[in-house]
Structure 1
Amino acid sequence: MNRLELFTDLLRNRTAALGLCLIAGIVAVALAGPALAPYDPLVPAPLDRLQPPSAQHLFGTDSLGRDILSRVIHGSRLSLLIGIISVTISLVPGTVLGLLAGYFGDPLDSIIMRVMDVLLAFPAVLLAIFITAILGPSLPNTMIAVGIVYIPHYARIVRSNVLSLKQQLFVQAIRHLGGSHARVILLHILPNTFAPIIVYATLGMGTAVLQAAALGFLGLGAQPPQPEWGAMLSEGRQYIQMAPHVAGFPGLAILLLVLGFNLFGDGLRDVLDPSLRSR
């Protein structure tokens, strides 16, 4: 399947198309953030604190009088950055470890996978909290923590595909013809694992944003006054009854971004999976 056919099939898939539209919309808002934001997201206005949505402040204002719409717009950049960097931190080492474990087998396979099993034994949120507590609460440390938590997931996915691929005739033929391990792994096995990696990475973007928002909500992620959606939720929870918009709009932004990545990942899986395509 070439790129044009893949893109056409994605547009025909309603789930993928809807997810792609949501992602594209948020990316466009993030790129045009300074031009779209009507106010400075960091400058307080005490006289306008906790104002409801109005023509002057479409999303209302927070406890310090800052415009919530401007903070949500600027927060979209942080959330996308968190997703991209966290997934990269998970994907690269996870793919390398999965390739090595699946291709070379025991004893390397047992060592790598037992370490991955230990990481998987901890709930993802608790492990991320533990790592962030050690490194210190900050946005970069949040991305590192979320990335480390999901390394075992990529390692297991890649390993399972490598175990199947290395038994294929074309791989065995290349090895019998004198192909080096590096050539077999990089040129023949790795390209055939791209489809599941891409699908899981797309779904992982939504998961990473959600995990980072959870850490921000707990005060372990981005620190004030950064307009990060999870931190904004945490700031607004004490005003949930008198001013529900303070937490409502950041929560809605998280919902739309995570939903977009999940829908796009599901649709991408349907397009790339031959059995689902034929069905």
Structure 2
Amino acid sequence: MNIKELFIDLLKNRTATIGMLLIVLILIAAMIGPVYAPYNPLIPAPLDRLKGPNSQHWFGTDSLGRDIFSRIIYGSRISIMIGLISVSISLIPGTLLGLISGYFGRTLDNILMRLMDVLLAFPAILLAIFITAILGPNLTNTMIAVGIVYIPHYARIVRSSVLFLKEQLFIQSIRHLGGSHARILFKHVLPNALPPIIVYATLGMGTAVLQAAALGFLGLGAQPPQPEWGAMLSEGRQYIQLAPHVAAFPGAAILLLVLGFNLFGDGLRDVLDPSLRLM
């Protein structure tokens, strides 16, 4: 299936189409929104603090009088960057570990998978909190922590695909013809193992955004005055009765972005593996 056929099939899938629409809208806001943002997201305006939504401040203002709409637009850049970098940190080493473990097997496989089991034994958010606490609370360390937490997930997914693929006749034929391990792994095994990796990476974008927002909510992610959605949500909880909009709009932004990636990932899975529709 080429890119054009994949795109056409995605458009025919209602779940994927809705997910794509949400993601594209937020991407547009991240790319061009700051140009049209009505206010600077970092400059406080004490006289306008905790104002509800109105014609001047569409989403209202926060406890320092900053425009929430502008902060959410700027925050979309941070959330998308978190998703991309965190998934990359998980994807690259996780894929390499899964390839090596599944292809060579035996003692190396046992050692690598037991290490992955140790990481998987901890709840993801607790492990991310532990890593962030060691490295220090800031945005960079949040992305590193979220990335490290999900390395075992990619390693296991890739390993399971490699275990199946390496027993296929075309792989064994290449091996008997003298193909090197590197050539077999990266030219023949990896391309055939890509569909589940792509699907999980898409779903992982939403998970990474959610985990980073949770760390931001706990004060371990992006630090003030950065307009990160989780930190904005944490600030808004103090005014949930007095000014519920302070927490409602950042929460809705997180919901829409995570929902978009989850819907797109589910639709992508259906397109790449139609047999799953029958399960």
* Alignment TM-score > 0.5, same fold: yes
1:238 matched residue in structure 2: 238
Structure 2 distance, partners of 1:203, 1:34, is 27
Structure 1 distance, partners of 2:48, 2:264, is 39
- Asked if the contact 1:157–1:197 (Cα under 8 Å) also holds between the matched residues in 2, the reply is yes
TM (norm. structure 2) is: 0.99
Structure 1 distance, partners of 2:128, 2:222, is 14
1:6 matched residue in structure 2: 6
Matched, 1:46 2:43: no
Shift of 1:2: 1.3
Higher mean displacement: 64-73 or 34-43: 34-43
Structure 1 distance, partners of 2:232, 2:276, is 40
2:109 matched residue in structure 1: 109
Equivalent AA in structure 1 for residue 63 of structure 2? S
Equivalent AA in structure 2 for residue 230 of structure 1? G
Structure 2 distance, partners of 1:33, 1:50, is 23
1:160 matched residue in structure 2: 160
2:203 matched residue in structure 1: 203
Equivalent AA in structure 1 for residue 176 of structure 2? H
Equivalent AA in structure 1 for residue 198 of structure 2? I
Structure 1 distance, partners of 2:56, 2:191, is 52
Name the % identity.
78
Structure 2 distance, partners of 1:112, 1:101, is 7
1:37 matched residue in structure 2: 37
CA deviation profile, 1:32-76 (whole Å, cap 9, x unmatched): 122221000000000000000000100000000000000000000
- Asked if the contact 1:271–1:277 (Cα under 8 Å) also holds between the matched residues in 2, the reply is no
1:83 matched residue in structure 2: 83
Structure 1 distance, partners of 2:110, 2:44, is 55
Structure 2 distance, partners of 1:36, 1:78, is 17
Shift of 1:135: 0.1
Matches within 5 A, 1:168-187: 168-187=168-187
CA deviation profile, 1:1-35 (whole Å, cap 9, x unmatched): 11111000000000000000000000000001222
Equivalent AA in structure 2 for residue 46 of structure 1? P
CA deviation profile, 1:210-241 (whole Å, cap 9, x unmatched): 00000000000000000000000011100000
Matches within 5 A, 1:65-76: 65-76=65-76
Shift of 1:185: 0.3
Equivalent AA in structure 1 for residue 148 of structure 2? I
Equivalent AA in structure 2 for residue 75 of structure 1? G
Q: How many residues align?
A: 279
Structure 2 distance, partners of 1:243, 1:274, is 47
Matched, 1:226 2:226: yes
Structure 2 distance, partners of 1:48, 1:278, is 55
3-state SS of paired residue (1:219):
coil
1:28 matched residue in structure 2: 28
Shift of 1:278: 8.3
Structure 1 distance, partners of 2:137, 2:204, is 22
Structure 2 distance, partners of 1:62, 1:187, is 53
RMSD: 1.0
Shift of 1:145: 0.1
3-state SS of paired residue (1:32):
helix
Q: Is there any run of 5+ residues in structure 2 with no aligned partner, and where?
A: none
Equivalent AA in structure 2 for residue 135 of structure 1? L
Structure 2 distance, partners of 1:169, 1:57, is 64
Matched, 1:147 2:147: yes
Shift of 1:276: 3.8
1:120 matched residue in structure 2: 120
1:59 matched residue in structure 2: 59
Structure 2 distance, partners of 1:39, 1:221, is 24
Structure 2 distance, partners of 1:27, 1:3, is 20
- Asked if the contact 1:99–1:158 (Cα under 8 Å) also holds between the matched residues in 2, the reply is yes
Higher mean displacement: 115-124 or 33-42: 33-42
Structure 1 distance, partners of 2:178, 2:278, is 37
Structure 1 distance, partners of 2:274, 2:59, is 45
2:97 matched residue in structure 1: 97
CA deviation profile, 1:115-174 (whole Å, cap 9, x unmatched): 000000000000000000000000000000000000000000000000000000000000
Q: Is there any run of 5+ residues in structure 1 with no aligned partner, and where?
A: none
CA deviation profile, 1:76-99 (whole Å, cap 9, x unmatched): 000000000000000000000000
